[in-house]
Amino acid sequence: MKGILITGGEQPDFSLVSDLFSSAEPIYICAADSGLDYCRKNSVGPDYILGDMDSLENRSLLDDYPEDMIEEHPAEKDYTDTELGLIHLREKGCSSIVLIGGGGGRLDHIIALLSIFDRPAPPELWITANERVHFIEDRYSGNGLPGETVSLFPVGTDLCRMKSRGLKWPLDKLSWKKGDVGISNALVDKEFSITMSSGRLILIRELKSPLQPL
What residue spans define the domains of the chain? 2-129, 136-206
Write the pLDDT tens digit of every residue in 88-124. 999 999 999 999 999 888 899 899 999 999 999 999 9
CATH number of the domain at 2-129, please? 3.40.50.10240
Mean pLDDT of 58-69: 94
CA torsion through residues 101, 108, 206, 124, sign: negative
Which fold does the domain 136-206 belong to in CATH? Jelly Rolls (2.60.120)
Evaluate if residue 214 carries a pLDDT over 80.
no
Selection from 88, 79, 104, 83 nearest residue 30 by Cα: 88
Query: Smallest Cα–Cα separation from 79: which of 39, 129, 115?
Result: 115
Alpha-carbon distance 176 to 34, whole Å?
Answer: 37
Question: CA 188, CA 146: separation in Å to the nearest integer?
Answer: 5
d(Cα 32, Cα 192) in Å, to the nearest integer? 34
pTM above 0.75, yes or no: yes
- Asked if the domains 2-129 and 136-206 are classified in one and the same CATH topology, the answer is no
